[in-house]
Amino acid sequence: MIQKLNILKNPQVTYTTDWWAKIVAIIALINFSLVLFNFSYLPLRSSYLKTIPAIVSIYDPVKGIQPHTEINDYLTQVDLLTEYINQQGLEGNATEQLIQNLRQKSLILINDPSFLSFHQLGILAKLKYQIQTHTHTLSANLAFNQFWNREHLAEVGVQQELDFFNRKIRPLLEITYFRAIDNQGNLIDNFGKIDLFFIIFFALEFLRKSILCSRQKPEQPIGKIMLRRWYEGFFFLPFWREFRFIPLMVKLHQSHLVNLEWFLGQLVYEPAAYLSDRISNFLMVRLINQTKTALVTGEITRALLEPKPYIKVNSVDKVDAIVNRFLRLTIYKVLPKLQPDLEALLRYSLKEAVTQSNFYQGLQTVPGIEAFPTEVIEQLADYLATGSVDIITKFYADIKGRELFDDLSQNFKKALEKELKDTINQAELQSLLSDLLEEIKINYVQRSTQDNPEAILDEAEKIRYGASLQSQN
């Protein structure tokens, strides 16, 4: 066991563990980046096609994307029409046949958009808008009928219309695609094959770390350790991949690649402030209510007067030790410092008692001893103050005196218990304490509503920040 602990405390082992944690966190970041790219690929494919076409050529097979046969045939016929017009002009029979075919195919494309996936429906809307705006018609069918017409091309200009098509219509058609379907009728998506390597890696890493933790903490079963790290399960689930963000943030923070303390603090700032205020109110009210219930039912009285045996950490009686410590501080440290005040108090008390007595009034009539009582009082006060402190000190240090003091304490305790067992005294004390607790509860909750939880949280953050700076220094 000692050798095991020494290995765990080895700086070389810790250094290796830290680097492995960083490597795992980087792999997790790469995996989540691929997940985000996979989710965004179809909506952003047109942007990738314009900016980074090499990515499209690589990733299209992963998503089962193939060139659309009808669209390619449509664009091929437009290119063939351009070639025929350059060679024969608009009057050739082959040119007329191509224009008629394009007119028919255009109507099929805009009236049967089933060839388009969900992410491509916006392309069809843009295509209709472009052709209708160009031909100044309110219908896409009429617009294509007018556009692919020999008289219209001759009147407006063939080259001008073909330039419009290549500039506005062709780019929209080129970004359309066809997704292959498997035998079960589902769209082909091969991202799972790429993700499988990450799933296996994180599953093995999860198992390795769980076994390591169970060896370091043999008192905890491995199932309990796995359950505490449930969030890592998103890494090796083939679905809900977007939730991998949770274990990714944990790994980045634990590997010290990213410090998320500030980010998490800002993320839960206001909810934490108001939630902590609610919780503190709830705990205070609950504590006071439970105390009041214990008072009313007599549980506190029974606990004080009839204490039940409980488990002690060691043989020392904590209550007696605390009381003894307070008495020693009071007798040896506090009372000597209060001796001048005791002298003044005794001097005043004795003077008032003597001057109001009949004996003193009689002495005042005797010539020559008017000042005698004052001197006696001062001397007596000094003697009593000094003597009282010395007597108490010696009394507490003496074994016999300590026994007498313990007897006094026990008799005092028995007398107090006897009076507290009286039902009248119990009822009066319970009523007073219950009212006091109710007042505390009402005033505490009322004051808490006047405080700003965010200001309190700011103050706590400042204290924590100051403490962190001190620890760093």
Domain ranges of the chain: 68-176
Per-residue model confidence (pLDDT) at position 11: 45
Print pLDDT tens along the chain (473 aa).
Answer: 333 334 334 444 454 568 889 999 999 999 999 999 999 998 888 889 888 989 999 999 999 888 888 888 999 999 999 988 888 888 778 888 899 999 999 988 888 766 666 667 788 889 999 999 999 998 999 999 999 998 999 888 889 999 999 999 999 888 888 887 878 878 888 999 999 999 999 999 999 999 998 888 888 888 888 988 898 999 988 889 999 998 999 899 888 888 877 777 777 677 777 777 777 776 777 777 777 777 777 766 665 556 656 555 556 555 566 666 766 777 677 767 777 776 677 667 766 666 666 666 666 666 655 555 566 666 666 666 666 666 666 666 667 766 776 776 677 667 766 776 777 877 777 777 777 777 766 765 666 666 666 666 666 667 666 666 666 66
- CA–CA distance from 50 to each of 7, 46, 47, 243, 296 (Å)? 56, 6, 5, 31, 79
Q: With a threshold of 0.75, does the pTM exceed it?
A: no
Exposure b/e, 339-375, CB count within 10 A at least 16 = b: eeebbeebbeebbeebeeeeeeeeeeeeeeeeeebee
Residue 48's contacts (CB-CB under 8 Å, 6 or more residues apart) are 41, 55, 56
- Compute CA 24 distance to the chain's CA centroid, rounded to the nearest angstrom: 23
φ/ψ of residue 65, rounded to 5: -90, 130
Backbone angles phi, psi at 357, to 5 degrees: -85, 155
pLDDT of residue 4: 38
CA atoms within 13 A on the CB side of 108: 11
